[in-house]
Homo-oligomer: A and B are copies of this chain.
């Protein structure tokens, strides 16, 4: 079993109104040190796989086929083995 921690973020240059709203709210609340904000999705997938390589290959395919829009979004992930598997 592996845990994939997936980040789906907007590509640079794609308008990010949610991030703008957060940046404005932080500024109003006195967090004037904030320089930039970007917002994306965090998706955690627990999956079965024999090896980390097999898990990585499947998670990358999930990203291509369902989780991310390759035109506007970047997709990256880290894998962690669960239950002491390598």
Q: Which residues of A contact B (CB under 8 A)?
A: 1, 7-9, 19, 22, 25-26, 29, 31, 33-49, 58, 61-62, 65-67
Contacts and interface: CB of A to CB of B under 8 A. Distances in A.
A35 to B, nearest CB: 4
Contacts of A45: 26, 34, 36-37
Contacts of A37: 43-46
B34 A46 contact: yes
Taking the full assembly, how many copies of this chain does it contain? 2
Contacts of A19: 43
A35 B58 CA distance: 13
Nearest to A39: B43
Interface centre among A7, A33, A66 (most CB of B within 10 A): A33
